Amino acid sequence: MADTLRVGLIGLGSMGRHHARVIRATPGMELVAVADPGGDRFGVAGPLPLLPDVEALIGVGLDAAVVAVPTIHHEEVALALARAGVHTLVEKPVAHDAAAGRRVADAFAERGLVGAVGYVERCNPALRALRERLDAGELGRVYQVLTRRQGPFPARISDVGVVKDLATHDIDLTAWVAGAPYESVHARVAHRSGRANEDMVLATGRLANGVIVSHTVNWLTPFKERVTVVTGEKGAFVADTLTGDLTFHANGTVASTWDQVAAFRGVSEGDVIRYAIPKREPLALEQERFRDAVRGVGHEHVTMAEGADTLAVVEAVLTSASENRVVGL
């Protein structure tokens, strides 16, 4: 394989345009072909011809590809790339359902190809720093992971609800941060904006290592919030992935003798530290990890098998909401 990977991109919408920019800026990657049957509304192609489909993209001759088409088309496009022997990064979720995700993951594994999924939150500086500090034992035993992912409806979404589009991030990052798969989930969803798919979800669950989790996700809050709170025996970490900030709230050792404050805050309020951490664009790091995996020098990408596992939890959330029961995994 040449030092510079020949990369194709299919899907030139809201995510595709950013992938094109980042591929062009990543050393060792060259964007040689782009495709989108719906056109190029953001002017992504530049000097490249706009190709109509994945077969035309493959025909250019590729080492690797990025798939940023609507979710319903992920399986067919990814399988075509697998048959052609092209290493591929598929935007999340890996497919429209868990069975399709497993078919895609198996197709790449059987051919010895790198198959990656674009769970870009794992590359966020706040969550990377959080994971490093948890691995170092700075929180002690982890008790709970809580996430809030709220904001207005994004015009880019048309084919899935908020669970598959947004909550899938929280499910992936929670299992990754806490180091364990989901054991069970219980959820409620709501349809409040007249669209076919759900636009609000509240989900709780338990991981295999005993950590309890909670997710609040919606498209109907008039402000944007992306927060992960991990509580453990030594305090709590708060990761804000909008700003890339990580804050630690320590359990206190100084008792409060001001009764009104003690009653409100408790008696274990301690120091609060906001860490100074280097901040890179997460998508740029994601592309570098994919490049390194294709070259055989890195293994930090999110695999398609992991993407299929996350979809199984997503489906459990939707089943729980529709049947009003706890769903085991």
Ordered structural domains, the chain, with CATH: 5-121+283-300 (3.40.50.720), 124-277+311-328 (3.30.360.10)
Instruction: Calculate mean pLDDT across residues 24-45.
Output: 96
Spatial neighbors of 91 by CB under 8 A, at least 6 apart, are 11, 15, 66, 67, 68, 74, 117, 118
Is residue 268 predicted with pLDDT exceeding 70?
Answer: no
pLDDT tens sequence across 180-211: 999 999 999 999 988 889 999 999 999 999 99
* Helix (H/G/I), strand (E/B), else coil: 283: helix
Beta strand pairing call for 220-232 and 142-152: antiparallel
Residues 6+ apart with CB under 8 A from 296: none
Write down the mean pLDDT value for the chain.
94
**Residue 194, pLDDT score:** 86
Do the Cβ atoms of 310 and 171 come closer than 8 Å? Answer: yes
Percent of the chain with pLDDT over 90: 88
Q: Where are the alpha helices (DSSP H) in 15-124?
A: 16-25, 54-59, 74-83, 98-110
Nearest to 8 by CA among 104, 85, 101: 85
Angle between helices 304-323 and 168-178 (to 10 degrees): 120
pLDDT > 70: percent of the chain:
94
Tokens for 252, please give them. 């206190």
pLDDT at 3: 86
| Model confidence band, residue 228 (pLDDT cutoffs 50, 70, 90) | very high
Vertex 242 angle, CA 45 and 215, to 5°: 110
Single-letter amino acid code for the residue at 156: R
Q: How far apart are CA 303 and CA 174, in angstroms?
A: 16
Quote the Cα angle for 219-224-227, to 5°: 105
State residue 267's pLDDT score.
Answer: 39
The pLDDT score that the predictor gives to residue 195 is: 85
Q: Which of 174, 118, 100, 189 has the alpha carbon at shortest distance from 144?
A: 174
Question: How large is the average pLDDT for residues 39-48?
Answer: 95
| Total residue count of the chain as it appears in this document | 329
pLDDT, tens digit, 9 for 90 and up, residues 1-23: 668 999 999 999 999 999 999 99
pLDDT of residue 153: 87
Per-residue pLDDT, 89: 98
Render pLDDT for 275-284 as a digit per residue (tens, 0 to 9): 999 999 999 9
